[in-house]
Structure 1
Amino acid sequence: MAVKIFFPTCCSAAESGLLIGRWISEHRSAVVLAMLHVPFIPGQVKQYLAHLQQSTGLSLSVLGSWSHKKAEKDEKIESFLYDLSSIFSHRPWLRLSREASSKFWDCSIERCDGGDQEEVVLVYYDERKLMLSELHSVTENSEIASVFATVAKCRPLFAKHKYDEGPIKLTHWQSDGVEASIIVELIKQFSVPLCAVLSFLVSVLTSLRTLRVLGGKPLSFVWNKLSTSEQLGKRLENIGLVSSTERAKDHKEFMRKANTVVSILLDMALGVLLMSWLYRENQISQLADTLMPVADRVAVELQELLQWLMGAPAGLKMNGALDEVLGRFYMYHIHLWTSYIRLMSPFIEVILWYIGLSACLGLSIALSILSDIIALLTFHIPVYCFYVYGARLYCFKMHGLSSLWRLFRGKKWNVLRHRVDSCSYDLDQLFLGTLLFTVLLFLLPTTALYYLVFTLLRLLVVLVQGLIQLIVNLLNTLPLYTVVLRLCRPHRLVICFLAGVKFRMLEQKTGKSLRLLMQINPLPYNGVLQSYMLPSNQCYPKDSWGSLCRKLFIGELIYPWRQKGNKQD
């Protein structure tokens, strides 16, 4: 069985010394962590290793010697290191050496239990990437898992700088972020009272939402249908998660908090930018002055559309009486809508001003308010009323035709058992059914045409609201912190052992050790989005295309919202 030696690439240029690391006997592997340089006292080295074993919980020891031959005087140091093998009686004893002109190192093993001659596989690894990666968080009894766990638990060893004064001189990976760590600690100290204040405010607002006055039947129905209320609840939940004083239990929970913080900050930054644009150069007044001509133009276009439908649209022969009734009925609703718009016109600028002011809470809040305003405006206009009237009338005729069609075939719908059963009808029932079927069939084209036209208009409004909610959902669920981390430090996002590590062959020659380079294989971007996407409280219907076409064909209403807890059709 071959002996595998994991050697850090940061120590390849170190001076001659001893190898500090861990021997994993069950896998016959040696993990080199640092280089110990001369001069030193063996007793102090043993005390230092005993202190590291207590702080890390690992059996660290002197694994062997490292000889970097740059000059002739290094031969004396090499002989000195050879004599130290009797003091540090580790089995096996590793001897690594490198000539000044050589690219790779030579390795030999002494005092090995498996015999005098052992095959050696030298694996180079980056200590920094293994230290910062999350691969060690997975509990798995494998050789790679043991290597990652060894490097991850040796933070006290890496805290000692190679330039620190003391009897022990080490070379290993050392983070260069002392000033940054001080700033981080100051931010942590400042965030404690801030999180306490935020937690108190969230608890107060949550208790206000649960009052019986606000939880009554009319108000609860309205709150469940408003996108603004849903988004405010989502933001309260996010602030409560961020301001929690509990420490993150695992990597997933930490990344969720970090992504939530970045999502809130980005949302508020975009909202402030929107607010600054609205209040610059009197943009709100210009928008308010533009809305009235647009509303009048929409009313004129709808009247022209109804007049076209009341005639002979596309040369189709319509039922004159039903066409006249439907046209006048819809014309009256257009008159009501124009009167409603005229009544609201003095308050449009004030409403837009408050919408712009609400953007300081975040772009998602402003977009949710915009979606609710579109829903309220289109509730009174024919785009919604016409669709509901036409859909109900069309659905009534479709259900009537389907029931009468079963009558001709001698069948009926069993309401109790929810199935179609056989049934015998007399002559009067068949005659009356034939008469009703004929009337409904000849009136169906007129109703279907009105239903088709206003369904298309309704779907256009639903599409606009859907795009707004899609942007809000992206702001709430997109893991921006993780995406940036994947772009800047991809080695931090490694979870799976099978796909998280890859090996590249550096040299393979007969009679020499096999040399490999262990590299971190980070998660792809689609895996990052799937693994770290924030939870969404989206309660909108997610019907399939087949279900949507079926609803449109039989005349069922297509709502842009669905109450929480409702089952999908």
Structure 2
Amino acid sequence: MANSTIQALLVNLPRTTLYWLDSWPAGLKLNAELSRFYVTTLVGVIDTWESLLPPLSPTFFRVLAMCSSLGGLTLALALMSDILSLVLTAHLRLAYELTRTVYWAAGVRMGGGLLWGIFRGKRHNVLRKRTDSWAYDIDQLLFGTVLFTLLAFLFPTALVYYVLFAGLRLVTLLVQAVLETLLAFMHHFPLFALMLRVKDPHRLPGGVYFKLVTPSSTTSKDSTLRKPYLSLESQPLSLSAIFFQYNELWARLARHYNPLRLFYRVLAGKHLSSIPPYSIRYVADPEGSAEAR
């Protein structure tokens, strides 16, 4: 079942989608030569990965189950996340990097920046960090306009294939985000503090408070001990204070996997990556982090 699922989702689906895009779906007329180059290259990457990766054997699942029994569920989740990122989706990541490089270099960097400025008679001032008007020569304007027109007609084809593999990359990151969230929450689960909170809450002091005690006449026969007095009591640590690291972890995960942030990085052609493991393993002291910054 695992082999058939991997074959259907990670091999057959991208290959079928590439051939579907190359056949002008829904009247989407892409550049035939560039589209054929994309399909030939990316299908070759998928076929090479399929020939190198052997089918998953029962021994693989036995080793995974053994690691889970020895190192706990956290080790199994970490192995699943690493296998998904490094082995199962390596071909999709390579295809994403290829399409992203072409999209960023040709479309965003050259077409949207340099050639668009030449087409409008503008130039970026590096010293003042602004865009100024500039009188180009007729040869420069003609050459820049020809290149800009060429990129403008080729850019939709590059954009379509980039959006395809960027979407697959986002789905992979979503699965990794679920695994990393479970892994981080299990690493920071305060089991000992909860057991101590149930057994003896006063052994987890969260502060002190004064309690007014009024002894009754039957408690003590001495009149001096029958006067009201203040008793210093220990206030148990609240559950919100015990789970304070969960708030920090959730804030970091939500900030990194924010849909608006990911959408902006897709449009800008920036690299999409999972959250660094060291940033969710341990929650640093906010004061110490501020001093470090």
Q: TM-score of the superposition, structure 1-length normalised?
A: 0.41
Structure 1 consecutive aligned stretches of length 4 or more whose deviation exceeds 6 Å = 502-507, 512-519, 531-535
2:206 is paired with a residue whose SS is coil
2:78 to 361, 368, 371: 368
Deviations 1:292-331 (A, max 9, x none): 2223323222222112211223432322222222122222
Deviations 1:399-434 (A, max 9, x none): 11222222234433355x482353432111111111
Q: Which amino acid aligns with 2:60?
A: I
1:431 lines up with 2:145 in the alignment: no
Match of 1:384 in 2: 93
Q: Which amino acid aligns with 2:63?
A: Y
1:558 lines up with 2:272 in the alignment: yes
- In the TM superposition, what is the alpha-carbon distance from 1:558 to its structure 2 partner? 0.8
Q: Which amino acid aligns with 1:442?
A: F
In the alignment, the residues of structure 2 paired with residue 413 and residue 438 of structure 1 have an alpha-carbon distance, to the nearest angstrom, of 20
Asked whether the equivalents of residues 506 and 516 of structure 1 are also in contact (C-alpha less than 8 Å), the reply is no
Match of 2:177 in 1: 466
In the alignment, the residues of structure 2 paired with residue 435 and residue 356 of structure 1 have an alpha-carbon distance, to the nearest angstrom, of 60
In the alignment, the residues of structure 1 paired with residue 273 and residue 247 of structure 2 have an alpha-carbon distance, to the nearest angstrom, of 27
In the alignment, the residues of structure 1 paired with residue 162 and residue 57 of structure 2 have an alpha-carbon distance, to the nearest angstrom, of 31
1:339 lines up with 2:48 in the alignment: no
Asked whether the equivalents of residues 364 and 475 of structure 1 are also in contact (C-alpha less than 8 Å), the reply is yes
2:15 to 280, 285, 303: 303
Asked whether the equivalents of residues 206 and 238 of structure 2 are also in contact (C-alpha less than 8 Å), the reply is no
In the alignment, the residues of structure 2 paired with residue 365 and residue 552 of structure 1 have an alpha-carbon distance, to the nearest angstrom, of 32
Deviations 1:371-396 (A, max 9, x none): 21112223443x21221111111111
Deviations 1:98-155 (A, max 9, x none): xxxxxxxxxxxxxxxxxxxxxxxxxxxxxxxxxxxxxxxxxxxxxxxxxxxxxxxxxx
Seen in structure 2, the aligned counterparts of structure 1 residues 554 and 506 have a Cα distance that, compared at 3 Å, is farther
In the alignment, the residues of structure 2 paired with residue 312 and residue 433 of structure 1 have an alpha-carbon distance, to the nearest angstrom, of 30
- RMSD over aligned CA atoms reads 3.6
Q: Which amino acid aligns with 1:334?
A: I
Match of 1:529 in 2: 243
Seen in structure 2, the aligned counterparts of structure 1 residues 533 and 399 have a Cα distance that, compared at 3 Å, is closer
In the alignment, the residues of structure 2 paired with residue 314 and residue 506 of structure 1 have an alpha-carbon distance, to the nearest angstrom, of 87
Seen in structure 2, the aligned counterparts of structure 1 residues 418 and 354 have a Cα distance that, compared at 3 Å, is farther
In the alignment, the residues of structure 2 paired with residue 300 and residue 546 of structure 1 have an alpha-carbon distance, to the nearest angstrom, of 30
Matches within 5 A, 1:271-282: none
1:495 is paired with a residue whose SS is strand
Q: Which amino acid aligns with 1:424?
A: A
Unaligned regions of 5+ residues in structure 1, if any?
Answer: 1-289
Seen in structure 2, the aligned counterparts of structure 1 residues 373 and 452 have a Cα distance that, compared at 3 Å, is same
Match of 1:486 in 2: 197
Seen in structure 2, the aligned counterparts of structure 1 residues 428 and 365 have a Cα distance that, compared at 3 Å, is same
Match of 2:186 in 1: 475
Asked whether the equivalents of residues 394 and 451 of structure 1 are also in contact (C-alpha less than 8 Å), the reply is yes
In the alignment, the residues of structure 1 paired with residue 264 and residue 213 of structure 2 have an alpha-carbon distance, to the nearest angstrom, of 55
Asked whether the equivalents of residues 479 and 533 of structure 1 are also in contact (C-alpha less than 8 Å), the reply is no
In the alignment, the residues of structure 1 paired with residue 235 and residue 131 of structure 2 have an alpha-carbon distance, to the nearest angstrom, of 63
Unaligned regions of 5+ residues in structure 2, if any?
Answer: 217-225, 280-293
Q: TM-score of the superposition, structure 2-length normalised?
A: 0.74
In the alignment, the residues of structure 1 paired with residue 74 and residue 30 of structure 2 have an alpha-carbon distance, to the nearest angstrom, of 47
Match of 2:32 in 1: 320
- In the TM superposition, what is the alpha-carbon distance from 1:483 to its structure 2 partner? 2.8
Match of 2:163 in 1: 452
In the alignment, the residues of structure 2 paired with residue 556 and residue 370 of structure 1 have an alpha-carbon distance, to the nearest angstrom, of 26
- In the TM superposition, what is the alpha-carbon distance from 1:521 to its structure 2 partner? 4.5
Asked whether the equivalents of residues 505 and 515 of structure 1 are also in contact (C-alpha less than 8 Å), the reply is yes
Q: Which amino acid aligns with 1:551?
A: R
Seen in structure 2, the aligned counterparts of structure 1 residues 320 and 362 have a Cα distance that, compared at 3 Å, is same
Seen in structure 2, the aligned counterparts of structure 1 residues 556 and 312 have a Cα distance that, compared at 3 Å, is same
Deviations 1:446-496 (A, max 9, x none): 211111121111111112122222222122222222233334433333333
Seen in structure 2, the aligned counterparts of structure 1 residues 505 and 331 have a Cα distance that, compared at 3 Å, is farther
